[in-house]
Amino acid sequence: MKKYSSAEQDVVLSAQLYAIERESKFDLLTLKELGDLLPGVILVNDLNNFQNIYMSKAGCDYLQTSPEELFTLGPAYFSAKYFREDEMKWIAEGFMSMLDTGDQSLVCSFNQNVRPNANADWKKFHLSGKILDQNLAHCIYMAQEVSKAGTAIHQIAKVLNVKTPEPVAFQKFSSLTKREKEIFQFIAKGFTNTQIADSLFISLATVLTHRKKIYGKLGLNKLSDVIRYADIFGLL
């Protein structure tokens, strides 16, 4: 079983969350089935209404509550009962900034202390989160106990049974800007440079500049490489 460094774990878990969201297409029934099979916790928050709208059984068991109770709590879910106030502030700011980008492929990672009640000890979790493709106000997260993250990676891979991007490939893809990802997808679908320019209302020269940067960042040389990359990230 391959061992990952802490930095590699962050990238792999982020790539796995990307694959989970792509696989479920945020059909809630599919997500619930998948969420209860995976190690750790899968949850979805509505950032417009500051409300938890889904949490897998493992998360509810740890928080000693139910999905219905969490939903009813509304914004109180984010209170100091479960989370540290100082951490929640910068985490919320980070995700609001991510929403502002509108980049639905972007995955953010962070560590967060969580406890089931005010009398319990804090437990540190690694969280990966991304905007749902179907709803820009909703974010899906995957949480793993930091001490168990390495083992969870391999368990997740077995359950998913889908192609998860390799860490290096995922890092390269994540380095693309939102515009570069748009153009990357057009290229993979066989659009010519002129067609891309017309579709995005930009100049041909701008397309060529973006294309050169995309190939450079991803280390690609030919169209077949672009198509292979796009298939891994579910962009075809």
Residues paired with residue 55 on neighbouring β-strands, in sequence order: 43
Average the pLDDT over each of 44-58, 83-97, 159-173 and give the range with the smallest value.
159-173
- The edge-to-edge listing of strands for the beta sheet with 107-114 is 51-55, 41-46, 135-145, 123-132, 107-114
Share of the chain above pLDDT 90, in %: 47
Across 217-228, average pLDDT = 88
Instruction: Find out whether 99 and 136 touch, Cβ atoms under 8 Å.
Output: yes
Task: Tell me which of 177 and 20 has the higher pLDDT.
Answer: 177
Instruction: Enumerate domains of the chain plus CATH numbers.
Output: 6-165 (3.30.450.20), 175-232 (1.10.10.10)
Q: What is the predicted pLDDT for the residue at 113?
A: 96
DSSP letters, 73-124, are HGGGGGSTTTB-HHHHHHHHHHHHHHHHHT-TT-EEEEEEEE-SSTTSPPEE
Q: What is the predicted pLDDT for the residue at 1?
A: 64
SS3 201: coil
